[in-house]
Amino acid sequence: MSVLIVGSTALDSIKTPTRENPRLLGGSASHASVAASFFSPVKLVGVVGEDFPRRYLALYKKHKIDLAGLQVLPGKTFHWSGEYEANMNNRRTLLTELGVFETFNPTLPSTHQDAAFVLLANIAPSLQQHVLEQMKRPKFVAADTMDLWLNIALPDLLKLLKHLDAFVLNDSEAHQLTQEDNMFLALKKIHKMGPNYVIIKKGSHGSVLSAPQGFFLCPAYPLNRVVDPTGAGDSFVGGMMGYLASAKGGIDANIRRAMIYGSVVASFCCEGFGLQRTTKVTRKQIQQRVKELERLTRY
């Protein structure tokens, strides 16, 4: 089954303590789509400007990502710039130039409206809602977010939450949303807002799922060296949705394994700038890390 993914399609300029890389292919939808494409066909919904490099379109195509829902508008592509501290965890945004995102109104081609799996990757919650309203009868809808929307669009986000199967957010966002220091109490509160599946991401410490069946503690793949963690969260949720769409059986039977696959794709994402490493990964390499995680967590 295919996964429809809407989110940002961006040019990212990323600064780490050792290197600087301007105008890489980035955006939540780009990272999530490439990650999902290892497992299932992907339909990308987004917008870019006329300055969007052709080689980046070629990268999407290499991953067989359906671009019928990618609008190319007059103007500049969304440009985001961030700088990491020495610990490679703390990041500050240096610049956000919305460009063509300012007037983006995602209208889905009819071929996209019956996708079974929908990932509303990080983008304004009103746009996420607008896309969801155009879907016919999705089997499973997941959304990601960021602190910006909790700050400036909370009512929109709360409205969206009522229509989600799964909501994915990081630990500081969960705290901001619920005012709970205890993660398990925060999870309880978020369930009350709508979604049956809530996943809290904890960066290099993995993630926690709270689902009808109970909790699952998903490890992060241990890395000796992180080059650039930008997009790791998007890769995680993209990989998870791609795997879920490919798996036989219901959500409950597969979501834990899907998180492990997401975690492994995210580990590759961290090993290169932007999408440089992820776009070179093979299914065999993914499988090897999944096996290793299994060995590391069995007792």
Q: Summarize as ranges the residues that interact with ligand AMP (CB under 6 A).
A: 8, 10, 12, 26-28, 80, 96, 122-123, 148, 230-234
Angstrom distances, CA of residue 244 to CA of 3, 87, 117:
9, 33, 8
Q: Which is nearer to ligand AMP, 10 or 141 (CB)?
A: 10
Q: Which is nearer to ligand AMP, 32 or 251 (CB)?
A: 32
- For residue 176, the minimal CB distance to ligand AMP (Å) is 15
- For residue 10, the minimal CB distance to ligand AMP (Å) is 4
What is the C-alpha to C-alpha distance for residues 31 and 259, in angstroms, rounded to an integer? 16
Q: Which is nearer to ligand AMP, 116 or 258 (CB)?
A: 258
Q: Which is nearer to ligand AMP, 10 or 116 (CB)?
A: 10
- For residue 188, the minimal CB distance to ligand AMP (Å) is 25
Strands in 166-170's sheet, in edge-to-edge order, are: 66-73, 42-49, 3-6, 117-120, 140-144, 166-170, 197-201, 207-211, 214-218
Q: CB neighbours of 299 closer than 8 A, spacing ≥ 6?
A: none
- For residue 170, the minimal CB distance to ligand AMP (Å) is 8
Q: Which is nearer to ligand AMP, 3 or 116 (CB)?
A: 3
Nearest to 25 by CA among 267, 234, 245: 234
Single-letter residue type at 101: F
Antiparallel, parallel or unpaired: β 66-73 and 140-144: unpaired
Residue 177: count other Cβ atoms within 10 Å of its Cβ: 21
- For residue 97, the minimal CB distance to ligand AMP (Å) is 10
Q: Which is nearer to ligand AMP, 34 or 255 (CB)?
A: 34
Angstrom distances, CA of residue 107 to CA of 3, 9, 128:
16, 16, 12
Residue 118: count other Cβ atoms within 10 Å of its Cβ: 26
- For residue 203, the minimal CB distance to ligand AMP (Å) is 10
